[in-house]
Amino acid sequence: MAKKEAYWLNKSQVARSLGISTQAFDKWGVEPVARQGREAYFTMRDILDNRLAHVEARRSSSGADDDDYDAQRTRLTKEQADKLEMENAVTRREQAPVELLEWALAELSQRISAILGAVPSKIKKRVPSLTSTEMTNINREIIKAQNAASKVELPWDKLPGFD
Residue 163 has pLDDT above 60, yes or no: no
User: What are the boundaries of each domain within the chain?
Assistant: 9-59, 97-158
Summarize the confidence of residues 128-145 as an average pLDDT: 93
Confidence of residue 146 (pLDDT cuts 50, 70, 90): confident
Instruction: Give the CA distances from residue 152 to residues 100, 119, 145, 146, in Å, rounded to whole numbers and listed in that order.
Output: 14, 21, 11, 10
pLDDT digits (tens, 9 = 90+) for 87-135: 999 899 898 888 888 888 888 888 888 899 999 999 999 999 999 999 9
pLDDT digits (tens, 9 = 90+) for 54-70: 999 888 776 666 678 88
The predicted pLDDT at position 106 comes to 85
Residue 64, amino acid: A
% of residues, the chain, pLDDT over 90: 56
Q: Residues 30, 47: contact at Cβ < 8 Å?
A: yes
pTM for the full model? 0.44
The predicted pLDDT at position 63 comes to 63
Which ranges of the chain would DSSP assign to H, the alpha helix?
11-18, 22-28, 44-91, 98-126, 132-150
Q: Residues 113, 150: contact at Cβ < 8 Å?
A: yes
Q: Please tell me which of 4-8, 11-15, 158-162 the model is most confident about, judged by mean pLDDT.
A: 11-15
Confidence of residue 151 (pLDDT cuts 50, 70, 90): confident
The predicted pLDDT at position 26 comes to 92
% of residues, the chain, pLDDT over 70: 93
Residue 140 has pLDDT above 80, yes or no: yes
The predicted pLDDT at position 65 comes to 65
